[in-house]
Structure 1
Amino acid sequence: MASLYLLLLGILLLPFLLLLVLAFLAWPAPVKLQLKGRHVLISGGSSGIGLAMARQAASEGAHVSILARNPAKLEAAREAIRQATGSDVSILSVDVQDFDSVSKAIQDASPIDVLVANHGVYFSQELELQDLQEIKLQVEINLMGTFHLIKAALPGMKQNAKNTNFPASIAIMSSQSGQVGIYGYGAYSATKYALRGLAEALRHEVVLDNIYVSLIFPPGTETPGFAEEKKRRSELINMIAASSGCMKADEVAEKAFNGIKCGTFIIPCNFEGVMLAIATAGLYPQNSCLGAFVEVIGAGFMRFVGLCFQWKWFGIIEKYHAKRNGS
């Protein structure tokens, strides 16, 4: 009987022992990063999630700069933010594909405390049918554009973080398509998966410079770009995409900044995103012992859930082709 009691006690203590170990392994410690009085620069800030983030940062007292290609849209976004918050923002008309232009704009806008690489384009289509130029454009903007932005901003951000002794942040906007490949989004998923590799490596490179890195994984979000993209989807892409949830840009902006202000590396935006984050945790950094605990405990179960999703998607594909072939 005593042995049974000891066994039960050991089982009950196991979670606490695991938490103690994870508290040691989770690093660096969470941070409290305030937006008030800080300079927040957001690419893709003239519409959608970027505009929502710019509006929220301005409402919290940040000095906001928004960067995008279209001057007219930038002016409209500035006016919308002014009316919503009473704050003015700086605008930078730059194509992220052009490193020299990005570098000059960043130099003029510095110093930067929070950099949000939010820009991106996506075109859903089966790889066999998709034009190669569309694939290259997604790589150039989504991936290379992010490299351009961060590389241009990093030296100044390091120096500013050192001079002010305030923590800084680089946030990269990925997508749930950067956690799991979805039918019809091969090129887009490839660029968003690549951002995870960039973010993980960058986290190591800047951790001792008092700069935190965050990777944001929004689902489909109600934006002008999303509305246009839905018009060109094939029937099968629509069928599979319908199994995923959709959020409003303001909701994503709030989730994103909640994570950025804590120095969180992986920032999911809804329950589905949390499940994907657990299922795909792999070797990414984790600075919360509770977050690490959930990942360790939930990884096996989430693998099962992931297989269920794959079974569902393959079933949709199989039924669609059977119906189209009349069998």
Structure 2
Amino acid sequence: MFELSSYNTIALLSISTLLWTFWNMWPSKKWDPRGQHCYVTGGSSGLGLAVAVELTKRGADVSIVARNKERLASALADMEKFRQGSNQVLKCYSYSLTDAEGSSAALEAASQDHGGKQPDAVFLCAGASRPGFFVEEEGDSLRKGMDDSYFVQAYSALAYTKRVVRDKARGKIVFISSLLGYMSMIGYSTYAPGKHALRGLAETLRSELYLYNCSVHIMFPGNIDSPGFVEENRVKPKITLELESTSKPVSPEVLANELIRGVQKGDFHIAPDLLANIFRSSTIGATPHHNILLDGLYATIGWIGLPFWRRDVDSAVLKHRKDHDEYLKAKGFYT
């Protein structure tokens, strides 16, 4: 009797898991950006611009925010090429988003151009990376790293949450972390901590914003073929460049499509490729699964493969020790 009951329990759990998996593969209703006001930070270039263009193609009203007015004007012209109708509202705003006041003012300006109503969705694509060795950093550069990787999105999320709660309206927050929000390696001491922090913020807000009918998503892309990537490679340590040499940067357009697709599916963590899915499933914790069967497969691959990857990374770093010592001597660090 015990043996039969055990088999019945296992069979029931297996059938339930399969039904749950197939049910979640086809959500009953996808989010449609058409006619929605979508607010995109970092919208003047790179992933932010690609997201803004893709939302424009899908019929959304799009507001983009960045600091550089010339790049904003150029980005807005690019968006106009894909306008779907004369009533579509496309706007740009020049603000610094690394402080709470600027982030709140930018959101307020975009809302006022829509009758005072806050955006239906915010895509927080602003951010920057300046790789280097931790030993060369100073207090100010550590703080700037957090400003450019964490606070530049957190402040906008805070301003948006306050409006959603005050106006008792539905909302949607989409953060952009990085593959380095799942792990990290040499060279990213001022960047990866902020991207890990974004994951922590998103995990918290996913739970808390149930109170206010506001959904939360976060994407973890690898290297992006963008002006920002070109700039960070200019100062990136030699060993970091070496470790990333086999990783081809992905176009912003491909990632923008993956991002919107993930939001439409209702994914909380949006992993745009195989490697990101392996890290996602290997570090999932209490984060909701996408597909239990696939996530189990990804986790198994990670359990087997990631220790070998880490061993190779550590070996490469150790081989670089002599070169690094010479680099520090040349920089005058020891004197």
Q: Same fold by TM-score, threshold 0.5 exceeded?
A: yes
Deviations 1:182-217 (A, max 9, x none): 211112000000000000000011124322111101
Counterpart-to-counterpart distance in 2, 1:79 and 1:33:
26
Corresponding pairs, count: 315
Residue 14 of structure 1 deviates from its aligned partner by 5.6
One-letter amino acid of the structure 1 residue matched with residue 46 of structure 2: G
Counterpart in the other structure of 2:320: 320
SS in 1 for 2:54: helix
TM-aligned CA deviation for residue 158 of structure 1:
4.2
Q: CA separation in 2, counterparts of 1:30 and 1:259?
A: 15
**2:51 alignment partner, SS class:** helix
Given residue 37 of structure 2, which amino acid in structure 1 is its aligned partner?
H
Instruction: State the distance in 1 between where 2:208 and 2:10 align.
Output: 39
2:228 aligned residue: 225
* Residues 150 and 198 in structure 2, CA contact (< 8 A), matched pair in contact too: yes
Which of 61, 64, 81 is matched with 2:59 structurally? 61
Structure 1 distance, partners of 2:98, 2:72, is 18
Which of 64, 70, 73 is residue 71 of structure 2 equivalent to? 73
Q: Which has the higher contact order (CA 8 A, sep 6+)?
A: 1
**SS across alignment from 2:65:** strand
Match of 2:136 among 129, 135, 138: 129
Q: Is the 8 A contact 1:41 1:114 kept in 2?
A: yes
Amino acid at match of 1:316: A
Which 5+ residue runs of structure 2 have no aligned equivalent?
112-117, 327-335
User: Which range moves more in the overlay, 219-228 or 108-117?
Assistant: 108-117
RMSD: 3.1
CA contact (8 A) 1:175 1:218 kept: yes
Alignment of 1:142-161 (within 5 A): 142-158=149-165
**Structure 1 counterpart SS, 2:33:** coil
Cα distance in 2 for residues equivalent to 1:241 and 1:93? 33
1:261 aligned counterpart, secondary structure: helix
Q: Judging changes above 3 Å, is the alpha-carbon distance between structure 1 residues 105 and 7 closer, same or farther for their aligned structure 2 residues?
A: closer
1:302 & 1:135 partners in 2: Cα distance?
31
Instruction: Give 1:262 shift.
Output: 2.2
How many Å separate the matches in 2 of 1:322 and 1:15?
A: 55
Q: Confirm or deny that 1:274 pairs with 2:277.
A: yes
| More divergent stretch after superposition (250-259 vs 104-113) | 104-113
Of stretches 219-228 and 268-277 in structure 1, the one that deviates more from structure 2 is 268-277
Q: Distance in 1 between matches of 2:280 and 2:234?
A: 29
For the Cα contact (< 8 Å) 2:165–2:212, is it kept in 1?
Answer: yes
- Identify the match of residue 169 of structure 1 among 164, 167, 172: 172
| Secondary structure of the structure 2 residue equivalent to 1:186 | coil
Counterpart for residue 103 of structure 2: 102
Aligned partner of 2:309 in structure 1 is 309
Checking the alignment, whether the CA contact within 8 Å between 1:82 and 1:88 is kept in structure 2 is no
Task: Name the SS for the 2:285 alignment partner.
Answer: coil
- SS of equivalent to 2:81: helix
Aligned to 2:331: none
**Which residue identity is paired with 1:299?**
A
**Consecutive unaligned residues in structure 1, runs of 5 or more:** none
- Separation in 1, partners of 2:173, 2:325: 49
Structure 1 residue 133: deviation in Å? 2.7
Q: Taking structure 1 as reference, are residues 323 and 66 closer, same or farther at Cα in structure 2, changes over 3 Å only?
A: closer
- Provide the C-alpha distance between the structure 2 equivalents of 1:180 and 1:140, rounded to a whole number of angstroms: 20
Within the alignment, does 1:15 sit opposite 2:8 as a pair?
no
Please name the residue that 1:215 is paired with: 218
Write the letter of the residue equivalent to 2:304. Answer: F
Q: In structure 1, how many angstroms separate the alpha carbons of the residues matched to 2:316 and 2:138? A: 25
Percent pairwise identity: 24
Find the counterpart in structure 2 of residue 295 from structure 1: 295
For 2:232, give the aligned amino acid.
E
Q: Determine the structure 2 residue equivalent to 1:52.
A: 50
Q: Which TM-score applies when normalising by structure 1? A: 0.86
- Read off the aligned partner of 1:52 and give its amino acid letter: A
Question: CA offset at residue 8 of structure 1?
Answer: 8.7
Moved more, 184-193 or 209-218: 209-218
Partners of 1:30 and 1:323 lie apart in 2 by 56
Tell me if the contact between 1:259 and 1:267 (Cα under 8 Å) persists in the aligned partners: yes
* Correspondence 1:182 to 2:185: yes
For 1:56-85, what per-residue CA distance to the aligned partner results, in whole angstroms no more than 9, with x for missing partners? 000100000001111111111111211244
Cα distance in structure 1, aligned partners of 2:30 and 2:271:
19
Distance 1:143 1:19 in 2: 38
Q: Which amino acid aligns with 1:221?
A: I
Q: What is the DSSP-based 3-state SS (H/G/I as helix, E as strand, rest coil) of the residue aligned with 1:91?
A: strand
Distance 1:83 1:62 in 2: 14
Of stretches 9-18 and 140-149 in structure 1, the one that deviates more from structure 2 is 9-18
Alpha-carbon distance in 2 for matches of 1:295, 1:89: 39
Code of the aligned partner of 2:33: L
